[in-house]
Structure 1
Amino acid sequence: MPDVLVIGGGNAALCSALMAREAGASVLMLESAPKEWRGGNSMHVRNLRCMHDAPQDVLVEAYPEEEFWQDLLKVTGGITNEPLARMVIRHSSRCRPWMRKHGVHFQPPLSGALHVARTNAFFMGGGKALVNAYYRSAEVLGVKIRYSTPVKSLELKDGQFVAAITESGERITAKSCVLGCGGFESNLEWQREAWGQNERGEWTAENFLIRGTRFNQGVLLKFMIDAGADSIGDPTQAHCVAIDARAPLYDGGICTRIDCVSLGVVVNREAKRFYDEGEDFWPKRYAIWGRLVAQQPGQTAWSIIDQKAIGRFMPPVFDGTKANTLEELAVKIGVDPTTFMETLNAYNAACQPGTFDHTALDDCRTDGVVPAKTHWARVIDTAPFHAYPLKPGITFTYLGMKTDETAACRFGGVASTNLFAAGEMVAGNVLGKGYTAGVGMSIGTAFGRIAGVNAAASAGHHHPTFKEELAYAAGH
C-alpha cells in the first residue's frame, strides 16, 4: 500500500507527487489517459503568472503582490477568497527554483504583442516540456505511475479516504490521497445540463469546443459532490475563451486562439456588435470573450479587422476569410450585408482622433456608439478586410472542492485529515469567474505542492524544507 495516492496526471498532480516523494512518502499516481496523452490540460499551458518585487532572471521590472491581487480582483469581480488568492500569489514568487530543480526550463522574456514579459514566466518548450520534465523527475525519484487507469469512485469513511475504485473494479488503498484530476470541461452532457437553454430555445453549450484534454470528465468531482463534500463555484463559470470556430472538438490548445479582437470589432450572427473590444489589454480580458460569444445567437461571432491590424497580433493557425470590400466580407461570412454595413459605418463614424498605441491603454476611442470601444478604436477602412469565426472554447471549469490553506477536502465544514485536492479541483476558491493569463498554473502549482506535503504528513512523512515557504505564502 502506498503512503500517498495521487489521482490525476497534470501539473497539480505532478507537483503533489513530487513533493510527497521529496518528503519521503511512497507515491502511486493514477493517470486516466494513456501515456501519449498524459498531462491533462497542462500539455497546453505556456506560462506561469509570477509575483516579483524586482527584476528576476526571466521576468522584467516588478509585479508586486498588490498589483497581482488587483488584477485578480478585477477579472473575478471580487468573487474570490482573498486569503487563498494571496497565498497563491505569494507562492508564485518562490516556486521557480523548485521547478527548475525538477527539470523545468524558462525562456527569456518575450517582447511584443502579448504584453506579459513582466508578469509571466514562459516555459521553454511549453506545457508538454514541463509535463515531461516532471514525469522524468518523478520516475527518477521512484514515484510509481500507472497510465490508462481511470478511477470511478472513492471509498470514504467519516470524511476520510480509504480506497480508490478504478473503472476495472480494482480497489487501491493508501494512507492519504490527493485529487488532482481536473474539472468537468470535457463532459459535454454535463456542460449542456449546467448551461441549459437560452431564450431562443438553443442549448447554450451545444457549440462549445474544448481547448484541452478529452479526459477531464469530472467523474470524481461529481462523486465527491454526491458524497457530500463541500463544493464551491458556479458550474457555468470556466476559463472560456473565444477561439477559432474551425478548431477540433478537443485538444486544439493555444493555436486556436484568436488574438485580434482588440484591434477591430466583433459582430454576432445578426451582424451587430455586443461588447467593448478595447476594454483592457488582451491578456487580461481574452478569457471573458468565450462567455460573451456563448450568449450570442448560435454561439457564434466574427472578429473583423482590416489590413492595418496585420502584423500586430499572433496570427491564428487558420487563415481568416478575406475580401476587398466590407460588403463582400459580409456576404462571404453569411451575415446580412445591410445590417453589417450599418454596424461598421456607425462604428467608423464614432472613432475619435487619437494616438494609436497597442502597448498602452491609448486614447483611440469611440463616441456616440453602443457598445463603446474604449481603446485602440481605429476606423476599419483599409483593404483587404479579414474575418475570423469565433466559438466558445472551454479550457477548464471552476466548480470544485471548497478548501482552505491546507488543500484539504471538507465535509460539512470539517476538513479531512487525509484527503486533499489541487489544481482545477480547487480553482473555484480563487477564480469565482474570469481569468488572467497564467493564473491557472499559479493555482495548480501552489495547491499541488501544498496538497502533496500535507498528504505526506498525513502518512507520517514531513517535508524537510517546505515549512518556511508555507509560512511565507500564508503571510506569516
Structure 2
Amino acid sequence: MGEINCDILVIGGGNAALCAAISAKENGADVVMLESSPKAWRGGNSQHTRNLRSMHYGPTDVLTDTYSEDEFFEDIYKVTKGQTNEEFARYVIKNTPEVVKWAKSHGVRFQGSFGGTLQLGRTNAFFLGGGKSLVNSYYKEAKKMGIKVLYEHEALSLDIQKEYIGVKVKDHANAQILNFKADACVIASGGFESNLDKLQEAWGKPAKNFLIRGTKFNQGKMLFALKDAGAKIIGDPTQGHMVAIDARAPKYDGGIASRVDCVSLGIVVNKEAKRFYDEGEDFWPKRYAIWGRLVASQEDQIGYSITDHKVLKRYMPPLFEPVVANSLDELADKMGLDAAALRKTVDEYNAGVVEGKFDHTVLDDCHTEGLEVNKTHWAQKIDTPPFYCYPLRPGVTFTYLGVKVTKEAAVVMENGEVCKNLFAAGEIMAGNILSQGYCAGFGMSIGSVFGRIAGREAAKSREQK
C-alpha cells in the first residue's frame, strides 16, 4: 500500500474539477487530479454538455441582447419554485461573465450566438465543439501547466484532519490501493446518479426504469464518504436534474442527443393514452427539466410524445427517428397503446383547441379550454398525418443531494465547523443552490464558478499554514 504526498488533491475529472485544478495551479500550488474513468471516458457529465448560462448587459461575441442578474435569478427562482438560496444563486450569477472570459483565457472556444428553436442565444454561451471540446481544452491546459492527472484512480474514503486530508484510492489499472496525503483537497466528483442501488434506495422500484444521461462513473463514493466523515449533507435524494429522454436511449451516456425536444409542440400521454400535464406551460429551455419527474410519476415510468406533420421542422431532432404512422390507430398499434383510448384523448384535445396565432418563439395565444388538463400555449390540433411519436423515459442527469459549503467552497461539518483544507465544487455541492427544477446551462455555471473558487481557496489554505 503506497503513500503519496501532494499540495492539492483534486478528486474528479469534469468541468468543476478542471477549473479547480487550473485555478489552484494559477495560485501557486502543485496539483494532482484523480479521474476514476479511463482516459477515453474522462470528463464526467461535462463531456455531454453544450453551454453555460451567463448574465450580460449588452451583446457580446457569444451572446445576444441583454440578460440581467435579476432576470437570471427570476428564472432560477421560478424553476425551483422559490426553493433556492438567493445569496448563493446571485453569487454564481454575478461571477458568470468573468467565468466566460477565464475559460477563453485557458483555451476554451465559444461559438457565435446561437439561434433556432431552443431560444438560448440570449442566455447561454455555447462551447465550440460541445462539452467534449471544453474538457479537452482544459486537459490540454492542465498538461501545459504541469498538473498531474491520474486516470482510473477511484477515491474511496476520506480522513479529514486539520493538518491534512487523507484519501484512500483504488488504482484500477494496477490493482492496488494508494493512500494520498494532501495539504488541501477539492472534491468535484459529481453526484450519485449512476449508482443504481442508491437511486433505488431513494426512489424505490421506479428507479429500475430510469436511464442515466451521463457517465457511469458518478457513483457518489465521495458524497457518501463525506457523510461518513461527518460532513453536513443537504438536499433530497430524490431531487435532481431529470429530463424526459427517448426510451430507446442506452442505460448510460445517452447524453444531450437523447433528449426529446418536441414536447411543447404536441401532447404527451401515459401508457393509458391519457394526457397528464400542460405541455405548453413555458418555453422548453425553462421547463424541459420537469418532464423527467413527470414521466417518473406515471405507471411503468413511460410516456409518449405525439405530434403531427405541421411541426416536424420546428424542433431539434433527437438521437432516434420518431415512430411514424399515417393514422392514430396505426400509431397506437406501433406503440402498444389502446387505439380507442388514444383516439378519445386526441379528439377531446382537438375539440378544446382555441386557435390563435401560432408562434413557438413567444408565449402565444394558442391554448385549450374545457379540458381536465389544459395546454396554455402552442396548442394546435393534431390532425395532419403522418403522426409522430417518441417514447419517453426519465433521464437522470445529476442529483441534488450534496455537501454543504460556504461561499468560499469550504466544506461544512455536521457540527457547524468549517473545514480549512477541504473544498467542494460542481454537482456534489449544487444542492446548496438547486433544490428542485433546472435551467439549461446552470450546472456548468455553478461548476465553473465554484471550481475556480475552490481551487483558489485550496491554494490559499496552504499559504496560511
CA distance, structure 1, for counterparts of residue 299 and residue 117 of structure 2: 31
CA distance, structure 1, for counterparts of residue 460 and residue 25 of structure 2: 11
Residue 111 of structure 1: how far off its partner (Å): 1.2
Give the equivalent residue in structure 1 for 2:79: 75
Pick the aligned partner of 1:230 from 232, 241, 244.
Answer: 232
Give the equivalent residue in structure 2 for 1:413: 416
State the TM-score, normalized to the length of structure 2: 0.97
Pick the aligned partner of 1:208 from 201, 207, 210.
Answer: 210
Give the equivalent residue in structure 2 for 1:132: 136
1:368 aligns with 2:370: yes
Residue 318 of structure 1: how far off its partner (Å): 1.1
SS at match of 2:385: coil
Give the equivalent residue in structure 1 for 2:451: 448
Matching residue's letter, 1:371: V
Give the equivalent residue in structure 2 for 1:428: 431
Matching residue's letter, 1:149: H
CA distance, structure 2, for counterparts of residue 270 and residue 456 of structure 1: 57
Give the equivalent residue in structure 2 for 1:258: 260
Pick the aligned partner of 1:181 from 181, 189, 209.
Answer: 189
Alignment of 1:39-58 (within 5 A): 39-58=43-62
Matching residue's letter, 2:153: T
CA distance, structure 1, for counterparts of residue 215 and residue 264 of structure 2: 28
Give the equivalent residue in structure 1 for 2:383: 381
Distance 1:161 1:423, change over 3 A: farther
- Large movers: runs of 4+ above 4 Å: none
The answer (yes or no) to whether the contact 1:25–1:461 under 8 Å persists in 2 is no
Matching residue's letter, 1:261: V
The answer (yes or no) to whether the contact 1:324–1:384 under 8 Å persists in 2 is yes
Residue 389 of structure 1: how far off its partner (Å): 0.3
Residue 461 of structure 1: how far off its partner (Å): 8.0
Residue 94 of structure 1: how far off its partner (Å): 1.4
Give the equivalent residue in structure 1 for 2:357: 355
1:320 aligns with 2:322: yes
Pick the aligned partner of 2:156 from 152, 157, 168.
Answer: 152
SS at match of 2:67: coil
CA distance, structure 1, for counterparts of residue 298 and residue 417 of structure 2: 42
CA distance, structure 1, for counterparts of residue 106 and residue 231 of structure 2: 33
Matching residue's letter, 1:27: V
CA distance, structure 1, for counterparts of residue 144 and residue 331 of structure 2: 56
SS at match of 2:393: strand
* Residues 190-241 of structure 1 deviation map (CA, whole Å, 9 limit, x = unaligned): 0011012xxxxxx111110000000000011011112221111110011101
The answer (yes or no) to whether the contact 2:209–2:300 under 8 Å persists in 1 is yes
The answer (yes or no) to whether the contact 1:154–1:161 under 8 Å persists in 2 is no
Matching residue's letter, 1:444: G
Matching residue's letter, 1:369: L
Pick the aligned partner of 1:5 from 4, 9, 19.
Answer: 9
Residue 96 of structure 1: how far off its partner (Å): 1.3
CA distance, structure 2, for counterparts of residue 457 and residue 105 of structure 1: 29
Give the equivalent residue in structure 2 for 1:457: 460
Residue 338 of structure 1: how far off its partner (Å): 1.2
The answer (yes or no) to whether the contact 1:23–1:461 under 8 Å persists in 2 is no
The answer (yes or no) to whether the contact 2:257–2:319 under 8 Å persists in 1 is yes
CA distance, structure 2, for counterparts of residue 212 and residue 430 of structure 1: 21
State the TM-score, normalized to the length of structure 1: 0.94
Residue 459 of structure 1: how far off its partner (Å): 1.1
Pick the aligned partner of 1:166 from 163, 166, 169.
Answer: 169
Give the equivalent residue in structure 1 for 2:32: 28
CA distance, structure 1, for counterparts of residue 124 and residue 327 of structure 2: 39
SS at match of 1:98: helix
Matching residue's letter, 1:403: V
Matching residue's letter, 1:216: N
CA distance, structure 2, for counterparts of residue 26 and residue 132 of structure 1: 21
Residue 161 of structure 1: how far off its partner (Å): 4.6
CA RMSD of aligned residues (A): 1.1
Give the equivalent residue in structure 2 for 1:274: 276
Give the equivalent residue in structure 1 for 2:249: 247
Residue 181 of structure 1: how far off its partner (Å): 0.4
The answer (yes or no) to whether the contact 2:64–2:122 under 8 Å persists in 1 is yes
Matching residue's letter, 2:97: S
Residue 316 of structure 1: how far off its partner (Å): 1.6
